[in-house]
Amino acid sequence: MKNFPIVKSRRLRSTPYTDRIEAQGVSSYTVYNHMLLPASFKSLEADYHHLKKFVQVWDVAAERQVEIKGKDSAKLVQLMTCRDLSKSKIGKCYYAPLIDQEGLLVNDPIINKLAEDRWWLSIADSDVIFFAKGLAAGHKFEVEIKEPNVNILAIQGPLSDDLMEKVFGEEIRKLKFFNFKYFDFKGKKYFIARSGWSKQSGFEVYVEDDSAGQDLYDYLFEYGKEFNVKAGCPNLIERIESALLSYGNDFDNRDNPFEANFDKFINLDTNVNYLGKEKLKKIKQEGIKRKLMGVKIDHNKIDMYCEKTLLDDNNNIVGFVRSATYSPTFKKVIGIAMINKPYWNSKHQFKIDIDEKIFLGTVCDLPFI
């Protein structure tokens, strides 16, 4: 497949930080929630090594918020997810698979509880707002649903605490994983969570005012010089090694949450009422026939724009690779694949066609690191 430029338009939305990341040398984009999401700067590998050693600032405005507010908001949010939110607390973030009536995955947002009657679903790449509005209409819920103008900046990497302390003060070090609070900087308040789509530790600033966000962006680079701060973005190598799943890549609306290894977020026992619960009970009873696992392939490159089939010696289907990249750590291609049950414990090799040549690989557990 050739690479063609993608034309920008109002439909393919920019972010308040786009001018800045372009000045800093963004070298590729992907499209996420109809918005530009940077995919690389110097190179995938150079960005990866920098992220694991220093600190980066990411324009992840494409992680859009769906705000659900009002008397029935808690009911609606619970109706959309199989995670039990009955004991959820204000100021906490909940990673929560969204499920439809068939028991299939719709999205995997982080749900932020701002008040008993106000929630932000920080969504992956699917149109959750219409799912929410449809359910609210069908159930005659008293809720307001909108996409607020929130544009996240993520600060990720082992030196992220040092940089954030310098900007927001030492209190920020005490912020616990998947908790959020408001912090002040130069007279403005910023919603900050300890979270982010890397396993290198970090924060996410949910910016509610464009110019305050742009100011913060510039200060992060000024204050961050001593920490070798660079512009970055979610890194394909780091996220596959860490098994941070990507909706639309690793799983989508053809898959159920058991197949995507979301077991610990699936509640089938208590009184929680959500869409697809009966379907999930049935799936659990029958048992799944495939699930997401890791694969390692003896090769040094792979391009992924569609699923790639894995075959055993007799040309039976082992599974399908859904995301993959060369890992400089494993010195192989590593990937996330939907693997059929007979091969879950298999130490057998599989075959895969990459650029019309056959390579060998093995199935393994996730995460890689």
Q: Smallest gap, in angstroms, from Cβ of residue 177 to ligand THG?
A: 8
Shortest Cβ distance from residue 303 to ligand THG (Å)?
23
Strands 151-156 and 110-115: unpaired
Rounded least distance, CB 41 to ligand THG, Å: 18
Comparing CB distances to ligand THG, the nearer of 13 and 351 is 13
**Between 153 and 333, CB nearer to ligand THG:** 153
Helix, coil or strand: residue 264 = helix
In the complex, the smallest distance separating the C-beta of residue 37 from ligand THG, rounded to whole angstroms, is 10
Shortest Å distance, C-beta 348 to ligand THG: 28
Which of 207, 295 has the CB closer to ligand THG?
207
Of residues 38 and 196, the one with the C-beta less far from ligand THG: 196
Closer CB to ligand THG, 65 or 73, in the complex: 65
Q: Which is nearer to ligand THG, 21 or 66 (CB)?
A: 66
Please state the closest distance from residue 264 (CB atom) to ligand THG, in A.
8
Q: Which residues bind ligand THG (CB under 6 A)?
A: 63, 95, 108-110, 122-124, 152, 178, 195-197, 204, 244-245
Q: Over the chain, what HEC string results?
A: CCCCCCCCCCCCECCCCHHHHHHCCCCEEEEECCEEEEEECCCHHHHHHHHHHCCEEEECCCCCEEEEECCCHHHHHHHHECCCCCCCCCCEEEECCEECCCCCEEECCEEEEEECCEEEEECCCCCHHHHHHHHHHHCCCCCEEECCCCEEEEEECCCHHHHHHHHHCHHHHHCCECEEEEEEECCEEEEEEECCCCCCCEEEEEECCHHHHHHHHHHHHHHCHHHCCEEECCCHHHHHHCCCCCECCCECCCCCCCCCCCHHHCCCCCCCCCCCHHHHHHHHHHCCCEEEEEEEECCCCCCCCCCEEEECCCCCEEEEEEEEEEECCCCEEEEEEEEEHHHCCCCCEEEEEECCEEEEEEEECCCCC
Measured from the CB of residue 198, what is the shortest distance to ligand THG in angstroms? 8
Closer CB to ligand THG, 95 or 227, in the complex: 95
Give the shortest CB-323-to-ligand THG separation in angstroms.
13
Question: Closer CB to ligand THG, residue 160 or residue 340?
Answer: 160
